[in-house]
Structure 1
Amino acid sequence: MPKTICSCSMGKDSLATVILALMHHRPLDEVVYCEVMFDENISGEVPEHRDFIYGTAIPWLQQAGLKITVLRSDLTYKACFTQIIQRGTGKGKLKSFPLCGRCNIQRDCKLRPIRQYMKTLPPGTQQYIGLASDEQDRLLRLRGNQSSLLLEYACSEADARNLCCQYGLLSPIYDFTNRNGCWFCPNAKLSELRRLYDHHPDLWREMLALQALPNKATEKFDREFKFSDYDLLFHNEDAQLCWFT
């Protein structure tokens, strides 16, 4: 028999989708979460969000009687970064930092494992995707057996946040950002990078170590700057603050 699953990043929109399914007694056989990894031991999730996932969200979902499946790709960010390009102008170089807006990490380390897992499920399996009613551009990308309960119940991003708050399922990352992405994401805002620099120096050093590797296809972390440029910026900000105080 076909199943109904929810692809869940444990962010506000996907968790609100699960809540709506439970509230309205909609079919939901399984919640599927894919954890992108930096390397074999370090998660790609912002640490505060990972603690929330395993300490709050998954236990809540299990208590609600839902099956939880955790997926991880065989590939990690670091493995993708150090992969040798086999053809084209960058042949022989490290693939290095992913392109903004065309992130091969999302494709290879998140979407691919989910798609592979979907192939193991019965034909006709339905998939809930956490897209809010006010994300029209992204809703247009839904295909085949994919659907949005947030659209069906006219639930905007703000509504999804409020719903998660009501059930104690709002990740603490929303205290300092409005998005849910990996801590090494090239689309990270300056404020997110500053928080990583301030609160997770061990992860910051991991990125600086990658920046220092030779023979990379690109030195840029995002469209404009190297990761080491951000390190220098924050170091200088701290130095100026110390001088003024």
Structure 2
Amino acid sequence: MTHIATLSGGKDSTAMLDLLLRDKKPLDHIVFYDTLHEFAAMYEYIAKLGEYFRARYGKEITILKPAMSFEECVFGRISRGENKGAIRGLPAPQTQGFCAWRREAKVAPFERWLKAQSFDEYKIYIGYTTDETRRRMDGNEFLYPLIDDYNMSEADCTAYLKEREMENPLYRYFSRTGCYFCPAQSKRAFYQVWKNFKPEWEYMKRIEAELLALRDGGEAVLNTSWFAGNLTCTDMEAEFIRLSRQGSLAFDDEPLKDCFCKI
């Protein structure tokens, strides 16, 4: 039996991994999905975790990458179904269901890697906490040690890492981690990208502008906006500036957490 742990770089999966290794639980592979659009701070954090796991436990992190770029995904055309021939556009899991970029950047690389390894049997550790029991998936291959073995909540994971000075610096800005343009983020998170991560925000603006130009030129584009209500980056900038001047940054909570980005 091969045991695999998925590492997102977030507090829950990091705490889970350290607990599994500390308690000498069976663990053969640690897998991190590099979507190619993580924050620079995430890459630095994963490198530090890699050094720590290697030095203390003799474990390496396997980094998986997508076979196509984000832009190939976004500007690619739908090959079948009612939207055949249309340009896919930006991911919009709130309206389109499953995130196409997550499939290309996380699911497909993991499936290719599993196939190449030819494991006879395997188990996958998932870092869901006691706050997320409803997210448990069917299938005997999934294990949930934070729920079943350690009875830990998200707050417990935060405290565990804080006590050991293992916190991801991105939590200074965000309540969750992921692609910097993740459409499942809250408006508050996008405000932080706009305010503190200018190159990432400018990339979002460029991709959106190119898709809008294609649509205005007569192309069928499924989604041209990062935001609900077809709001553009320019629209959001105006709102962020207005709220900043008012000193009233009141945002809704994160709209979506069922993006399965931890697996």
The two structures have a TM-score, normalised by structure 2, of 0.80
Aligned length: 231
Which range moves more in the overlay, 183-192 or 89-98?
89-98
Counterpart residue number, 1:57:
49
| Aligned with residue 105 of structure 1, among 81, 84, 101 | 101
Q: Which runs of 4+ in 1 moved over 6 A?
A: none
Counterpart residue number, 1:217:
222
Cα deviation digits, residues 171-197 of structure 1 (max 9, x gap) = 112222221121011111122111211
Distance in 1 between residues matched to 2:126 and 2:202, nearest whole Å: 34
8 Å CA contact 2:50–2:60 kept in 1: the answer is: no
Counterpart residue number, 2:26:
27
8 Å CA contact 1:29–1:67 kept in 2: the answer is: no
Q: Which runs of 5+ in 2 are unaligned?
A: 216-220, 247-263
Please show how residues 50-199 of structure 1 align to structure 2 within 5 Å.
Answer: 50-54=43-47, 56-64=48-56, 65-101=58-94, 102-119=98-115, 120-139=117-136, 141-151=137-147, 152-199=149-196
Q: Secondary structure at the match of 2:67?
A: coil
Distance in 2 between residues matched to 1:138 and 1:175, nearest whole Å: 26
| Aligned with residue 226 of structure 1, among 207, 232, 241 | 232
Task: Report the CA distance between 1:69 and its aligned residue.
Answer: 0.7
Task: Report the CA distance between 1:32 and its aligned residue.
Answer: 0.8
Task: Report the CA distance between 1:227 and its aligned residue.
Answer: 2.9
8 Å CA contact 1:4–1:27 kept in 2: the answer is: yes
Cα deviation digits, residues 88-133 of structure 1 (max 9, x gap) = 5544432111122421111221122112212324211221111112
Q: Percent identity?
A: 24
Cα deviation digits, residues 202-233 of structure 1 (max 9, x gap) = 22111111111222322232332233321332
The two structures have a TM-score, normalised by structure 1, of 0.86
Counterpart residue number, 1:41:
none
Distance in 2 between residues matched to 1:91 and 1:115, nearest whole Å: 25
